[in-house]
Amino acid sequence: MTSSPTASDAPVAPITPEAPTFWRAFAYWLRLGFISFGGPAGQIAIMHEDLVEKRRWISEQRFLHALNYCMVLPGPEAQQLATYIGWLMHRKRGGLVAGMLFVLPSLCILIALSWVYMAFGQVPAVAGVLYGIKPAVTAIVAAAAYRIGSRALKNHWLRAIAVLAFVAIFALDLPFPVIVLVAGVLGYLGGRYRPAQFAVGGAHAGGTKAAGPAVIDDATPTPPHALFSWARFARVLVVGVGLWLAAMGVLVALYGWDATLSQMAWFFTKAALLTFGGAYAVLPYVYQGAVEHFHWLSPLQMVDGLALGETTPGPLIMVVSFVGFVGGWTQAIFGSGSLLLAGAVAASVVTFFTFLPSFVFIFLGGPFIESTHGNLRFTAPLTGITAAVVGVIVNLAVFFAWHVLWPTGWAGRFEWAALAIGAVAALALFRYKVGVIRVVLGAGLAGLAWQLLR
């Protein structure tokens, strides 16, 4: 006998989850800081799965709305997205906690790895692991160029800008800021005279299936602290600029303008304002300054730093912390007896000045974005800059390949083993879509095996 359906058998509408407390959110952001591997795409995917689908703290549309704004800004978009969501849920202290915990675990891990690298980098086992990781990093950068290029270079106008950018930085050695400026002008002109070719669609596509009602849902009113006002805008700007001036003033007062720490603070402030297109785009600028101009580290050390950055959680731009550590160590800014302290302090200074603008941008622009609730569109100048970024990243891959395959110059020995490891890494990335961490670890083991066999 079949029972008749009752009211209890009717489908139950999903219940809106309870709003997380500040300390519950704190625990989540701390956990995220230790598991945020995979670069910006992987980090955004983790947050989307956790915050939109599982916890339902924010709706799909509000998540993408915040992400689109972060994509327009210079700086690490995944860290800025965490800051934005933390701020939206728990005011400025929530944004500060979310953004800082996205970075601090990576900083601590990188300081430890950088110390091992500088103190024991010549140990055969360590050298062998790094030998294998370097060609894998070259393949990773090439994969990044392909991934970004396949999305950004939709027509021959944009492909031409990418080629011009590659020639400008590879053959003419033009500074990265000049390339960005020219690309922006070309994008502006293209938007006026070829608008169809310089129009950009959505940067990210989200899932179409709703996860259920969220704490911050599509129709949830903007909370009072997220409403735009010029008075609040002015306060945030004054505090942000004041923090920068105070930190810079302390460094200059203690060590002088030409000192290593002061120059690092100034240089990485400029780098932070040029990171359109992610970490791979700004690395050539960091290389030009840190390696060629200031000589804080060597070309091969720069490659090693990117390899370490790929194996740690947090934004890939955290490779600048490695640059700071090595620069502080090699310059012995506190004397030859305090190299670890010098490296740790320099890494912390570089990290502070790199990420301070990201917080300021979110707290300044977030209220305006929340108040409008409109779909953001990328401007034509930004379209041109994005195209140029592809050419710059290709140059970075060529630079890494050159120094990995001919470590002592064109006339020196060619590293066939490095080529083989790089080819296998590229096959794993392009053909089989293996994750970055697995590729790096596998390449490191291959390099160690090669070191033991030869």
Calpha distance 342→322 (Å, rounded): 12
For residue 332, how many other CB atoms are within 10 A of its CB?
A: 14
Q: Which residue has the higher pLDDT, 191 or 408?
A: 191
* Distance in angstroms (rounded) separating the CA atoms of residues 385 and 328: 33
Alpha helices in 2-76 (DSSP H): 22-35, 39-47, 60-72
CB contact at 8 A, 106 and 422:
no
Q: Summarize pLDDT for 66-95 with one digit per residue, the tens.
A: 876 776 677 788 899 999 999 999 999 999
Three-class secondary structure of residue 312 per DSSP: coil
Identity of residue 441: L
Tell me the two tokens of residue 289.
């300054």
326 within 8 A of 301, measured Cβ to Cβ: yes
Q: Which residue has the tokens 């959680």?
A: 313
pLDDT at 358: 92
Task: Give me the sign of the Cα torsion angle 152, 157, 159, 165.
Answer: negative
Distance in angstroms (rounded) separating the CA atoms of residues 403 and 414: 10
Residue 83 backbone phi and psi in degrees, to 5: -60, -45
pLDDT at 161: 92
Instruction: Indicate the average pLDDT of the chain.
Output: 83
Q: Cα 414 vs. chain centroid, distance in angstroms?
A: 32
Q: What is the pLDDT of residue 77?
A: 80
The first and second tokens of residue 276, run together, are 């359109």
**CA 403: distance to chain centroid?**
23
Q: What is the tens place of the pLDDT at every residue in 87-143?
A: 999 999 999 999 999 999 999 989 998 998 888 876 677 778 878 888 887 887 788
Average pLDDT estimate for 235-249: 96
Question: 91's torsion region: left (phi>0), alpha (psi -120 to 50) or beta?
Answer: left
Examine the pLDDT at 426 and tell me if it is beyond 80. Answer: yes
Q: Coil, strand or helix: which one is 314?
A: coil
d(CA 121, CA 75): 30
* Residue type at position 246: A
The Cα 74–Cα 430 span in angstroms is: 28
Residue at 150: amino acid letter? S
Bridge partners for 169 per DSSP:
none
Predicted confidence (pLDDT) per residue in 175-218, tens digit: 777 887 898 889 888 888 888 777 654 334 444 445 678 888 87
Per the DSSP assignment, residues forming a β-bridge with 216 are 58
In terms of pTM, does the model score above 0.95?
Answer: no
Supply 382's token pair.
Answer: 């930004």
Distance, in Å, from the CA atom of 89 to the CA atom of 277, rounded to the nearest integer, reads 27
- The answer to whether 204 and 68 are in contact (CB under 8 A) is yes
DSSP per-residue codes, 103-116: HHHHHHHHHHHHHH
Q: Give the separation between CA 87 and CA 16, rounded to whole angstroms.
A: 20
Q: What is the pLDDT of residues 279-313, one digit of tens each?
A: 666 777 888 889 988 999 988 888 788 777 766 77
